[in-house]
Structure 1
Amino acid sequence: MPQRRAVVAGSRTFPGAGLAPNPGSLIAQIEGIFESIVESIIRKEELTINFERLCFPGRSQKEATKFTRVLLILQLSHDALVSNEILTKRHIFYQNQELFGTQARVDELVDCLALTLGVGREDLNIVATSKGLVAGQATVHLKDGTSIDASYNRIGSSIPLSTTIASVNTSNIKWILVIEKDAVFRSLVSTEFWRTSAAGLGLLVTGKGYPDLLTWSFLHIVQRNNPNVPILVLVDYDPDGVNILRCYRWGLSRLPSPKYLKAHWIGIKARHVLESRNLQPVQSAPERITHQEQAYSSRGGDSAGDSISSISCREPSAQLSVRDRQLVRGTLRRIQAIITTDESSQEVAEMRYELQKMLMLGVKAEIQWLDDGGNLTGWLEQEIILCLGPE
């Protein structure tokens, strides 16, 4: 249970964080802060919020500005809770650009404020704009009575805010595939791989790179309701891919308390690279890289018309860069710090082995590289069936 903190205004102490995260208690906490500040103003005392011991007017202009930013976020959160509306961090920034300066400041303050109050960011009715997509045999029922049919949209449906979800019906699926690349996700959705796969009905999910909180929370809800349906993760064979896997498996640093997903890594791994007869660990020559290829190679994906077997894709097997090697070493340090159970220790050992092997081979490979023969779906079916085991 989170420790109880105090919000201080002048000489008065107001019990703050650690209460149950429901709208009523949060509204009471925030209003208690405001009342304390008003009393301090009446008594002509210095205003203090026990959020990194912020004061107003403070010892510097920087401290006074930060106090103002925190107070504004508290006010916006209070108004959103009272009116039962949802605010996005992007909206807060664009409505107050001069005060915050950058989007990153809003993100940091909202997350830190939620942690200080002992709640999740969503409990403040402040969320990030969702970038996650879902497609497949699932129906998401929302608390307002509406529903989202994930099988209806041929480009995937946006993942909703977890606090607006009443239930998720995934009773018929046999597997969940989380895909790093948006381009691969959209190609699989366009062929309805979730429906036509020999592995049975499934669900496709992408966080378009590193997962955001909404995508991770959605997967957590689905797994909680369907603990026997495996979550399979497909990422690039590079340091970022392994880091993305780590984020899905062991949660995000922004979570108010440690939570985990039981997820299985199906690829890409060193053995897939070594088994390929066409491996050429060389960087594409600069003169051969077109503007379209550069756009495709970015982690944000490609144009909507490109397929995963497009011959215009850049060579997906390349040498590790200096940055890649530094990132591998940093990831090795992070996974070393993971507190493991008997069940997860083998996963950590596998991640460590794969990263060390990556350094030794000196190469990386994108998911598209598996489709060199034009049959990524066939490879996926084999891997998914292998993970499912005998009926």
Structure 2
Amino acid sequence: MSFVLSQGTRPFPSTPSDTSSTPLFSDQSGHEQVDNSPSSQSSGILNVNNGSSDHMQRYLVVSKIDEIFAKMIDVLADGGDALVIPYRRSSQGEGGVLRFPGSSVNEAVKFTRMMRIMELARQALMSGRIISKRNIYYQDPDLFDNQRNVNELVDSLALTLGVAASKGLIAGSLTLTMKDDTVVSCMFDQDPGETIPPASMIKEIHFGDARWVLVVEKEGKGYADLATLEFLNLVHSTQPFMPILGVFDSDPHGIHIMRTYKYGSPRLSHEENARVPGLRWIGVKLEDVLRAGVSASEEDGSQSSLGESSQSSQSSQSSFGQFSQGSQDSALFGKQITKAAVYDESLLTKMAQSIIYCLAAKGGELDDEEKEQLGEIQTMLLLNVKAEIQAIDNMGDLSDWLDEKIGVA
């Protein structure tokens, strides 16, 4: 999951000039507090609570690294044949090991790189510093050879130690000042973007000329991690007038991921800052894909049923109706729009029930956003179809579509 901060395409309500930097300070107990002076209250600065749980997690990871090193020392003391580092490449895969001496030169090099990464990670954890994957690479570029090697090994180490590697990436007009006074630039010169750090480690946020935030479900990242949710919550709290816009796949999981961003996840219910209530869902929706398909067919001179439907009516309902009546043989179906699976229907039904349960709990009516979500869920169930973000680009121009959506958001 990644998101972009940009200066946008149209003016939004201005915020006080002092919100370009978000100052935080520590009270006598050492806990993070908000600068509540009159000049900062208008900024909507979030109260970042850096409690004991962060320290416990840090030392737990340190103890696991120390355990690996201790076993190596025991092997050397006992005259063992090989040093071993536990190694997992995916959350689903079985655990393996890296050995030194290894079965090949490549394994020996990988072992050495992992040793160096564990050393740097331990130093950072003990000092309370943030160290990014890019920082790790520049600590020893001759050893690591390229950034990709670092990225893969850090992710594998996170899996091995049972801690979550940050999945969120950020690029845009934003600069972060960390508590150790290191500065992280999120400008677009980083490919694919800067890893989002834990919000509890951020001292200041410099928004530059950012005018909106675009959250994009991409890179196979799926559901947002805690660091991403808390960071977006921090941005929304410190800049409440800055729109946070979301683009997700037009499928059950896309809607579910969007709702997780906006309303939070049940498994993170104890984390009050792990949601982004100000998120605006701008797409992708089935209506967008169907209309893009209609436009593409008309440009090609196609006489498909979708094209005929659009000529008789410009409403989205006519497009939906014509599609459901037999457009499965059209050029659009099977390429940009696919049939929903049984598990998709199950997830859609559960989300619809969740919205209805919330309505009953509130004892009132659904708001406009909830009505839109429920309507999209019902449409997917009715048509039994789904689509990805890429469908818009395949049938037209995703940039033009984004310009239009951001302009009216």
- TM score, norm. by length of structure 2: 0.50
- Further displaced range: 254-263 or 364-373: 254-263
Report the residue type matching 1:245 in the other structure: M
Query: 1:165 maps to which residue?
Result: 202
Query: 1:250 maps to which residue?
Result: 263
The Cα shift of 1:337 comes to: 3.5
Q: 1:227 aligns with which of 236, 240, 244?
A: 240
Structure 1 residues 284 and 165: alpha-carbon distance in aligned structure 2, compared to 1, 3 A threshold: farther
Deviation digits for residues 231-264 of structure 1, max 9, x if unmatched? 1111111100100110010012214244442111
Structure 1 residues 374 and 350: alpha-carbon distance in aligned structure 2, compared to 1, 3 A threshold: closer
Aligned 8 A contact 2:171 2:194 in 1: yes
The Cα shift of 1:341 comes to: 10
Aligned 8 A contact 2:338 2:387 in 1: yes
1:265 is paired with a residue whose SS is strand
Q: Say yes or no: does 1:145 pair with 2:145.
A: no
- 1:39-50 pair list within 5 angstroms: none
Q: 1:263 aligns with which of 279, 288, 293?
A: 279
Question: Equivalents in 2 of 1:25, 1:129: separation in Å?
Answer: 15
- TM score, norm. by length of structure 1: 0.53
Highest RCO, 1 vs 2 (Cα 8 Å, sep ≥ 6): 2
- 1:223-372 pair list within 5 angstroms: 223-253=236-266, 254-259=268-273, 260-261=275-276, 262-275=278-291, 276-277=293-294, 278=297, 282=328, 315-338=335-358, 345-372=367-394
Deviation digits for residues 60-100 of structure 1, max 9, x if unmatched? xxxxxxxxxxxxxxxxxxxx9986478999758735xxxxx
Aligned 8 A contact 1:284 1:318 in 2: no
Structure 1 residues 354 and 139: alpha-carbon distance in aligned structure 2, compared to 1, 3 A threshold: same
Aligned 8 A contact 1:140 1:149 in 2: yes
The Cα shift of 1:219 comes to: 0.6
Question: Equivalents in 2 of 1:92, 1:140: separation in Å?
Answer: 23
Q: What percent of counterpart residues are identical?
A: 34
Deviation digits for residues 191-243 of structure 1, max 9, x if unmatched? xxxxxxxxxxxxxxxxx221111111111111111110111111111100100
Aligned 8 A contact 1:283 1:317 in 2: no
Q: 1:155 aligns with which of 187, 192, 204?
A: 192
Deviation digits for residues 288-344 of structure 1, max 9, x if unmatched? xxxxxxxxxxxxxxxxxxxxxxxxxx9231111112111111221233344669897
Structure 1 residue ranges without an equivalent (≥5) = 1-19, 31-79, 96-105, 107-126, 184-207, 286-313
Structure 1 residues 224 and 342: alpha-carbon distance in aligned structure 2, compared to 1, 3 A threshold: farther
Q: Say yes or no: does 1:381 pair with 2:403.
A: yes
Structure 1 residues 83 and 153: alpha-carbon distance in aligned structure 2, compared to 1, 3 A threshold: closer
1:372 is paired with a residue whose SS is helix
Report the residue type matching 1:256 in the other structure: H
Question: Equivalents in 1 of 2:262, 2:373: separation in Å?
Answer: 11
Aligned 8 A contact 1:23 1:81 in 2: no
Question: Equivalents in 1 of 2:372, 2:158: separation in Å?
Answer: 42
Question: Equivalents in 1 of 2:368, 2:264: separation in Å?
Answer: 18
Query: 2:169 maps to which residue?
Result: 133
Question: Equivalents in 2 of 1:178, 1:237: separation in Å?
Answer: 15
Deviation digits for residues 101-134 of structure 1, max 9, x if unmatched? xxxxx6xxxxxxxxxxxxxxxxxxxx62101100
Structure 2 residue ranges without an equivalent (≥5) = 1-48, 60-123, 132-153, 298-305, 307-322
Report the residue type matching 2:339 in the other structure: Q
Structure 1 residues 341 and 350: alpha-carbon distance in aligned structure 2, compared to 1, 3 A threshold: farther
- Equivalent residue pairs, number: 236
Aligned 8 A contact 2:213 2:244 in 1: yes
Aligned 8 A contact 2:286 2:387 in 1: no
Report the residue type matching 2:381 in the other structure: L
Query: 1:116 maps to which residue?
Result: none
Question: Equivalents in 1 of 2:341, 2:200: separation in Å?
Answer: 41
Structure 1 residues 26 and 94: alpha-carbon distance in aligned structure 2, compared to 1, 3 A threshold: closer
- 1:37-76 pair list within 5 angstroms: none
Query: 1:16 maps to which residue?
Result: none
Aligned 8 A contact 2:214 2:246 in 1: yes
Question: Equivalents in 2 of 1:274, 1:216: separation in Å?
Answer: 31
Question: Equivalents in 2 of 1:342, 1:223: separation in Å?
Answer: 27
2:367 is paired with a residue whose SS is helix
Aligned 8 A contact 1:175 1:229 in 2: yes
Structure 1 residues 265 and 354: alpha-carbon distance in aligned structure 2, compared to 1, 3 A threshold: same
Question: Equivalents in 1 of 2:219, 2:174: separation in Å?
Answer: 19
Structure 1 residues 82 and 147: alpha-carbon distance in aligned structure 2, compared to 1, 3 A threshold: closer
Question: Equivalents in 2 of 1:168, 1:282: separation in Å?
Answer: 50
